[in-house]
Amino acid sequence: MASLQSAPSIHGTTLFLNSSSHQLGLQKLGYLPCCRRRGVSSFIVRSENAQTPTTSSSREDRLGRRQALAVGSISTILSLINPTKMSFAAEAVKGFLPVLDKKDGYEFLYPFGWQEVVIEGQDKVYKDVIEPLESVSVNMIPTSKQDIRDLGSPQEVAEVLIKKVLASPSQKTKLVEAIEHDVDGRAYYTFEFVAQAPNFTRHALGAISIGNGKFYTLTTGANERRWGKMKDKLHTVIDSFKVFNV
């Protein structure tokens, strides 16, 4: 696998994404479609040219309708100019809250009730305070690579991340599945894995991609005993993860 090498342990993990190594300070946890322009413009023309009584009231009514049409057209144009700001709200799912990081260029959903916590080495972390293994975290490191596929296959990349970054050396890990998919022309790898420690087993999901000169990693998971209850929510988190240009 090109340029993704192993490292000694999670606490000193180094992920080689180009000719020089970068420290990955990870710690354990775990789109209005445009209305048809022709239809809009012709509707505006008909509204303006319609023959109506020239009373003050009718003039005010026509003015109000034209203003409403203008506002609607402007909103549509703005959504096309910068769809990122409007698309995420449309994709929000009941029971989830959105995260939109305009500075670093990523977004995702997390379950309602999880709280944000600060963990060194992580850009964002949200977790359930009662079930601490239920969490989502995002981390980024610089890279000169342009596409996640430059690093190898989904299985190869996921194996290295799991064993050298997402689980401690003492944990027994198993990659369940790793697949590639494309969103708006950007490639993502998503994967499922299990990490078994002496006193608990965490069932987790991950999503990785490259953009803005960064390697993005999002991971979420839960205690194995709660996987059946939480897996649909965790898949929603993973499926909501998007990287956009900034």
Residues 180-192 have pLDDT tens digits of 999 999 999 999 9
Question: What's the whole-number average pLDDT of the chain?
Answer: 76
Q: What is the pLDDT of residue 10?
A: 33
Is pLDDT larger for residue 129 or for residue 61? 129
In this structure, the number of other CB atoms found within 10 A of the CB of residue 84 comes to 16
Please report the domains of the chain, with CATH numbers, ordered by start residue: 10-29+90-243 (3.40.1000.10), 37-81 (no CATH)
Q: What is the pLDDT of residue 62?
A: 52
| Percent of the residues in the chain that have a pLDDT greater than 90, as a whole number | 61
Residues 109-140 have pLDDT tens digits of 999 999 999 999 899 999 999 999 999 999 99
Is pLDDT larger for residue 58 or for residue 103? 103
Kindly state the average pLDDT of the residues 83-110.
Answer: 79
Answer yes or no: is pLDDT of 41 > 50.
Answer: no
Lowest-pLDDT choice from 62-66, 146-150, 152-156, 241-245: 62-66
Answer yes or no: is pLDDT of 21 > 60.
Answer: no
- Specify which residues 107 forms β-bridges with: 100, 242
Answer yes or no: is pLDDT of 38 > 70.
Answer: no
Amino acid making up residue 125: V
- Sorted by sequence, the CB contacts under 8 Å of residue 109 that are 6+ apart come out as 91, 92, 93, 96, 97, 98, 99, 236, 237, 240
Helix, strand, coil percent content, the chain, rounded in steps of 5: 35, 30, 35
Angle 189-195-199 (CA atoms, 0-180°, nearest 5)?
A: 160
Confidence band of 14 (pLDDT split at 50, 70, 90) = very low
Answer yes or no: is pLDDT of 34 > 80.
Answer: no
Confidence band of 93 (pLDDT split at 50, 70, 90) = confident
Is pLDDT larger for residue 40 or for residue 127? 127
Contact 90, 83 (CB under 8 A): no
Lowest-pLDDT choice from 45-59, 84-98, 117-131, 148-162: 45-59
Task: Say what the pTM is.
Answer: 0.66
Residues 137-179 have pLDDT tens digits of 999 999 999 999 999 999 999 999 999 999 999 999 999 999 9
Q: What is the pLDDT of residue 6?
A: 38
